[in-house]
């Protein structure tokens, strides 16, 4: 399901909401929900941020077509916006493929990138051309490395390519992944050198010329992306200078880059106590839900306290050492610890920023707190 490179639609650069505008939008949702007696938590999806990120990607990497990793956040409105902006999609199952096809996306804008697939899923996508996934040196300093599970070793590449010849399967390119949330982008040169060796090996075996290079994911937004793009372009120019000029298609599988900062989560304080001078709060979402990533990804949590209308008479902004628990009976359901917060009351809000990557998609419904039922409100600033 890898084919012609779709073009970015002219929907404009897009403009993310400022923090002040985002908080105003959240306040408006809170007021509306109070009138309708609807409870939080809820997400806010900023479509202006999505458009801005897509623009940033193509501005920095015009030769690399992004195939968004659906597993990162499959919100349907978000996926539709990505489809309208011309990105491709990285799917990991037949169910994800069906979801993307239902948006009107053509199969040539999908890569079925899960390296090990159930037989039924392979049959579902039986007309796919193939990419060979190669193991690359783990030099990126990534939070999550994949080499122990995925990727052909150098000694395995020739047997795999020969097996594809014997089975009359069409191998059209090479893929790799330097790891999720990489910090050393010189790793791209190491990885692309391995990929180039695989290209050369296929040629020596008499396979048709490979025409696709899939550089995987691991990208984050912000200054690190500019650094990654620069390192990537240098590595491509070194190892594929002629290939790029002659029409080699280069694709990537970013997830976090597009989704993380596009979503914000608003939660409510549902309980409070003071113990040994520490203010302790309970909120209505937690580690079994949207904050599931805290179990394995100790990222810095960006949180804004939001005092509601009924408590707005409180002007004091002194902060206190605070702990924030999630709502479940799990003793490990701790969202924040030793965190400075102003004094809050029940029904005040905690707004968590950068909550689009592996949040709603990884949460469960433990204790009946249904992550799958958390609504999303759309902010659409163009």
Catalytic machinery residues: 329
The span from the CA of 303 to the CA of 225, in Å, is 23
Length of the chain in residues, anyone?
382
Q: What is the CA radius of gyration of the chain?
A: 23
* Contact predicate 379/31, CB 8 Å: no
> How many C-beta neighbours within 10 Å does residue 309 have?
11
Nearest to 135 by CA among 176, 106, 103: 176
The span from the CA of 132 to the CA of 163, in Å, is 12
The span from the CA of 177 to the CA of 155, in Å, is 18
The span from the CA of 260 to the CA of 257, in Å, is 6
Q: How far is CA 232 from CA 61, 190, 355, in A?
A: 9, 11, 27
The span from the CA of 242 to the CA of 245, in Å, is 5
């Amino acid at each position: 399901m890898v084919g012609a490179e779709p073009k970015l639609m002219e929907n404009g650069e897009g403009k993310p909401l400022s923090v002040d505008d985002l908080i105003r939008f959240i306040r408006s949702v809170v007021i509306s929900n109070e009138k309708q007696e609807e409870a939080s938590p809820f997400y806010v999806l900023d479509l202006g941020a999505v458009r801005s990120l897509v623009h940033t990607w193509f501005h920095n990497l015009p030769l690399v077509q992004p195939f968004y990793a659906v597993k990162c956040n499959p919100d349907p409105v978000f996926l539709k916006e990505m489809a309208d902006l011309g990105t491709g999609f990285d799917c990991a199952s037949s169910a994800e493929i069906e979801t993307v096809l239902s948006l009107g996306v053509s199969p040539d804008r999908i890569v079925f990138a899960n390296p090990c697939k159930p037989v039924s899923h392979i049959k579902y996508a039986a007309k796919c051309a193939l990419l060979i996934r190669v193991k690359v040196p783990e030099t990126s300093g990534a939070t999550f490395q994949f080499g122990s599970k995925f990727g052909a070793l150098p000694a395995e590449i020739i047997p795999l390519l020969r097996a594809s010849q014997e089975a009359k399967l069409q191998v059209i390119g090479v893929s790799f992944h330097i790891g999720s949330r990489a910090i050393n982008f010189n790793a791209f040169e190491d990885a692309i050198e391995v990929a180039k060796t695989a290209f050369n090996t296929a040629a020596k075996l008499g396979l048709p010329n490979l025409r696709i290079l899939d550089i995987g994911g691991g990208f984050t937004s912000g200054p690190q992306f500019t650094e990654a793009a620069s390192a990537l372009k240098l590595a491509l120019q070194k190892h594929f200078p002629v290939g790029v000029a002659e029409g080699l298609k280069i694709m990537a599988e970013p997830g976090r880059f597009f989704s993380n900062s596009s979503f914000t989560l608003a939660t409510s304080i549902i309980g409070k106590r003071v113990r040994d001078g520490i203010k302790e709060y309970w909120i209505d979402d937690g580690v079994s839900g949207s904050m599931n990533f805290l179990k394995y990804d100790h990222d810095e949590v960006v949180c804004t306290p939001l005092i509601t209308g009924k408590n707005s008479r409180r002007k004091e902004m002194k902060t206190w050492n605070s702990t924030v628990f999630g709502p479940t009976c799990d003793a490990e359901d701790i969202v924040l610890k030793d965190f400075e917060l102003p004094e809050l009351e029940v029904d005040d809000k905690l707004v968590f920023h950068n909550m689009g990557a592996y949040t709603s998609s990884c949460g469960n419904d433990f204790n009946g707190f249904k992550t799958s039922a958390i609504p999303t409100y759309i902010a659409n600033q163009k």
